Amino acid sequence: MKKTLATCTLLLVFLAPAAQAEEIGCITTAWKLIGANHKVCVQAFDDPKVKGVSCHISQAKTGGIAGTFGVAEDPSQFSIACRQVGPIIIEGKLPKEETAFSESTSLFFKDTKVTRLFDAKRNTLVYVAISRKLIEGAPANSISTVPVRPWSEK
């Protein structure tokens, strides 16, 4: 039963509609004699359902031999900043909560997920980045907000 649940959850994570990230660059945080250096990488993604909103997320990436071969588990250390970059166009009705971006941070069972919430009272989009583990959660999180306002080309 647990194996079936784990397989179904992994399929949902990989099949869920979410934005594709574009790598902006990486900064070395610790030099490693053997294997890749530890680093912080910055990626950008556009909200797939809200045109005119882009987010940048920075994440710690584990180096060493395991990091070189892509089998290291990255730490739950990240930050997010989202901004209006053009006229905000919302296609259809936004659900109260929806995944805007998801990326695996280990070979198995761990990912960083950005969820978009809508604060109707304040007319604001709220983006919350969290680290998720299939077996146990992590309290690491980061938040960014984007007020929905008219766009001025001035």
| Residue in the block written with tokens 């983006």 | 127
Question: Is the pLDDT assigned to residue 137 strictly greater than 70?
Answer: no
Q: Give pLDDT, residue 17.
A: 46
Question: Is the pLDDT assigned to residue 10 strictly greater than 80?
Answer: no
Paired tokens of 120: 């109707």
Q: Give pLDDT, residue 76.
A: 73
**pLDDT range class, residue 11, cuts 50, 70, 90:** very low
> What is the mean pLDDT of the segment spanning 54-80?
79
Task: Please state the separation of Cα 97 from the chain's center in Å.
Answer: 15
Q: Give pLDDT, residue 55.
A: 96
pTM for the structure as a whole: 0.75
- Using CB atoms within 10 A of its CB, is residue 154 exposed (0-12), middle (13-18) or buried (19+)? exposed
User: In the structure, how many helices (H) and strands (E) does the chain have?
Assistant: 2, 8
Going by the DSSP 8-state scheme, the letter that residue 145 receives in this structure is E
Give 22-59 pLDDT, tens digit per residue: 999 999 888 888 877 788 889 999 999 999 999 999 98
Question: Is the pLDDT assigned to residue 139 strictly greater than 80?
Answer: no
Q: Give pLDDT, residue 134.
A: 56
Mean pLDDT lowest among 66-70, 122-126, 131-135: 131-135
**Degrees (nearest 5) of the Cα angle 57, 61, 62?**
165
Give the residue with greater pLDDT, 20 vs 108.
20
Written as one letter, the residue type at 22 is E
Give 74-130 pLDDT, tens digit per residue: 667 789 999 999 999 988 888 889 999 887 766 556 678 899 999 999 999 999 998
